Amino acid sequence: MRLVETVEELQALADAERAAGRRVALVPTMGALHAGHLSLVEQGRRRADRVWLSIFVNPAQFDDPGDLDGYPRSWESDLVACRAAGVDLVFAPQAAEMYPPDSQTWVEVEELSQPLCGAARPGHFRGVTSIVAKLLLAAKPHVAVFGEKDFQQLAVIRRMVRDLGFDVEILGAATVREADGLALSSRNLRLSPEARRQALCVVRALDAAEQALAAGECRSAVLLHLVRNEIGKAPLARIDYAELRCPESLSPAPESLDCPTLLAVAVFMESPSPSDEAVRLIDNRVLRIPEGLP
């Protein structure tokens, strides 16, 4: 497995792979790798001859310096995981490599970046799209793989690639979950044992909405009430947002659902200890109207 730290070296390697007729898949990450990331590697392996993975904790997508400082980092274990998963190359640049001191260029997808996580974290998606654009230009992959857990991020990146004409396929991979249903996330490592137990309220909320829809309840307000009520049963949970949106445009869902609809949830899980910061978790589910319903 090769380690690369500069854009120049990565671009040269990408040119060599393309000249040899080999396909490259890129898996962008911020490290603290878990089974969810490794499932993206598996997806990339099915679509390409080489799988490259980037590890870069992107400062531009954090609106809270404390959140950036507290983001988990596990460099040595990440490399072990990459080798075991058969990753061919790890790109791990320093911040100055991706953001030179005189850097003044940003990439922004305007409308899709506004709701949900964009409303709660101003500037977040500008940081995401800028770094993904830089990674795509550096690695020149044929396909780049992202998890569907970050549904809005995936939608924003797809729009950026379409609008700017990047020659790359953006592949979404299904959310990987722990045995009890909690979506895998690097942030799960920061949950206290009690917060981890109560975090299952997010999964139960998604289930409640899906089950109600299957039983014929299509009213958006009722479905969201069920979601908020289920999360409200967890004393340590504080809702950031719970919304129903169109999966493609992320526009608000109609009062009565009549087509597949994204249910997106973000929750702060407080710690029993007042000195510990809350951990923000996100999850989603695309709700589908059962056959036979109007």
Q: What is the DSSP string of 198-213?
A: HTHHHHHHHHHHHHHH
DSSP run (H or E) holding 282: strand 279-287
pLDDT of residue 111: 96
Confidence category of residue 66, pLDDT binned at 50, 70, 90: confident
At 134-167, the pLDDT tens digits run: 999 999 999 999 999 999 999 999 999 999 999 9
Catalytic one of 37, 124, 142, 225: 37
Say yes or no: domain 186-286 is CATH 1.10.287.3510.
no
* CA distances, 149 to each of 32, 142, 254 (Å): 16, 22, 23
Cα torsion 62, 63, 69, 74 to 10°: value is -20
Q: 1-27: per-residue pLDDT in tens?
A: 999 999 999 999 999 999 999 999 999
Average pLDDT over every residue of 77-102: 97
Whole-model pTM? Answer: 0.94
Instruction: Domain ranges for the chain, please list them.
Output: 2-173, 186-286
34 is catalytic: no
pLDDT of residue 273: 76
Alpha carbon distance, N-terminus to C-terminus of the chain: 54
2-173 has CATH 3.40.50.620 classification: yes
Amino acid 277: pLDDT: 86
**For residue 278, pLDDT beyond 70:** yes
Distance CA 121, CA 132 (A): 18
Locate all alpha helices (DSSP H) within the chain, ordered by sequence. 7-19, 35-47, 65-70, 75-85, 95-98, 117-120, 124-139, 151-164, 193-198, 200-214, 220-232
